[in-house]
């Protein structure tokens, strides 16, 4: 980034009552819908570490610049370049893609830090919040959605799987609906995001500055638990009514679709559903039909494993799987078709769900020989979530 470019992440502190301060981090690449680059993840992680050690900082706010998005996901262009170079070199060790290894390590470490942050973290999830954006938002102690929030895990369209802790998050969505979200990339509005436990409160976007003014007027203490409670009470003063979304309206249908034990039966049930003129269900069917069969299998298998894992262990497993996807999965092809050539005709391999057997998926969970001898995320500990 040249000296003339704006900072990828803007940091500021605002004075609050009682001599305390509020740290505000703003993702600042609105032209790319605040897509998270490696540079941005490094900057944000370092600042969170500094604010955690600063006794004058009472809480942290994370937001996105522009009107369209909090964060639409990770920087896929740079990852694609690294995968093309890795495969052209004929490498066979998944750790040899140094860029992918570093990107996923820094991103997952950042996401985990937010989950484990002792001080309150208010995430203002306005607009598009997808993939890596959910990774940033999910760990916040107080997660705000607005009337224009749109959340999704759309990784099946690019040959990946719901990562950034998504396996753990989706495994805990009520009525196994997390499987439906992983397989279909279905959009969640504010009401559905709260129902799926990916957000906490619905506020009007027009009230953002009023909320920030209230943060400055609050008499924060030096007790993190007390500040968590104070922030929760403050946000309740601004809560706006929220409509019931399609995930809730179709809760019984989605539960029945995902009640099957085999992935093949779930996919068949979704494909055979009579969607009629329901645009949400029809879009979900279309995305699943066009998506990567391998991604469907990996998302399914990972949610099954994550149901019994801690969040930290889930990040460690997802890291291994992500490296395999970067090395020999559909990830590079999915990005090519969607963002590079933009022909939207990916050639998935395997091409059919039948070929993506549990045995096929097992290769993506095989732990490599780590260059340093231990898993790069071995030091991740317990989170607030457990």
Do the Cβ atoms of 383 and 315 come closer than 8 Å? no
CA distance linking residue 115 with residue 282, whole number of Å: 34
Say what angle helices 98-116 and 76-88 make with each other, to 10 degrees: 140
Average pLDDT score over the chain: 96
pLDDT at 3: 43
pLDDT at 6: 62
Give one DSSP letter per residue of 40-87, joined into a string. HHHHHHHHHHHHHT-TTEEEEEEEESSSSEEE--B-HHHHHHHHHHHH
Q: Determine the topology of domain 9-365 in CATH.
A: 2-enoyl-CoA Hydratase; Chain A, domain 1 (3.90.226)
Give the tens place of pLDDT for each residue, 285-304: 999 999 999 999 999 999 99
Do the Cβ atoms of 160 and 175 come closer than 8 Å? no
Q: Is the pTM of this model over 0.85?
A: yes
pLDDT at 5: 54
pLDDT at 382: 60
Give the tens place of pLDDT for each residue, 189-228: 999 999 999 999 999 999 999 999 999 999 999 999 999 9
> Which residues, given as ranges, of the chain have pLDDT below 70?
1-6, 382-386
In Å, what is the CA distance from 313 to each residue of 165, 375, 385?
10, 11, 13
């Amino acid at each position: 980034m040249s000296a003339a470019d704006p900072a990828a992440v803007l940091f500021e502190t605002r004075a609050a009552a009682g001599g305390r301060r509020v740290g505000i981090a703003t993702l600042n690449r609105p032209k790319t819908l605040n897509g998270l680059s490696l540079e941005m993840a490094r900057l944000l992680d370092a600042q969170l570490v500094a604010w955690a050690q600063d006794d004058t900082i009472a809480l942290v706010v994370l937001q996105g610049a522009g009107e369209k998005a909090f964060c639409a996901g990770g920087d896929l262009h740079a990852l694609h370049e690294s995968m093309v170079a890795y495969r052209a070199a004929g490498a066979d060790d998944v750790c040899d893609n140094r860029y992918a290894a570093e990107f996923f390590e820094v991103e997952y470490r950042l996401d985990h830090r937010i989950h484990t942050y002792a001080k309150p973290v208010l995430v203002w999830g306005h607009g598009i919040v997808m993939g890596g954006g959910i990774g940033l938002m999910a760990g916040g102690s107080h997660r705000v959605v607005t009337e224009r929030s749109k959340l999704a895990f759309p990784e099946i369209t690019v040959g990946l799987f719901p990562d950034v802790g998504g396996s753990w998050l989706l495994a805990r969505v009520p009525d196994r609906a997390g499987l439906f979200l992983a397989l279909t990339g279905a959009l969640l509005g504010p009401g559905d995001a709260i129902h799926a436990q990916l957000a906490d409160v619905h506020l009007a976007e027009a009230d953002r500055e009023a909320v920030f003014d209230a943060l400055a007027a609050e008499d924060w203490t030096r007790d993190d638990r007390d500040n968590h409670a104070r922030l929760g009470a403050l946000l309740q003063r601004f809560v706006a009514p929220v409509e019931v979304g399609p995930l809730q309206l179709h809760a019984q249908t989605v539960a029945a679709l995902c009640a099957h034990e085999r992935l093949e039966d779930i996919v068949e049930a979704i494909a055979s559903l009579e969607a009629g003129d329901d645009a949400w269900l029809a879009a979900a069917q279309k995305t699943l039909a066009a998506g990567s069969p391998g991604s469907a299998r990996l998302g399914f298998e990972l949610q099954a494993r994550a149901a019994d894992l801690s969040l930290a262990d889930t990040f460690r497993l997802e890291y291994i799987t992500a490296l395999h996807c970067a090395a020999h999965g559909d990830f590079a092809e999915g990005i090519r078709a969607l963002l590079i050539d933009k022909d939207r005709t990916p050639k998935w391999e395997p091409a059919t769900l039948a070929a993506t057997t549990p045995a096929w998926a097992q290769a993506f969970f095989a732990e490599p020989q780590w260059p340093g001898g231990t898993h790069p995320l071995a030091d991740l500990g317990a989170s607030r979530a457990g």
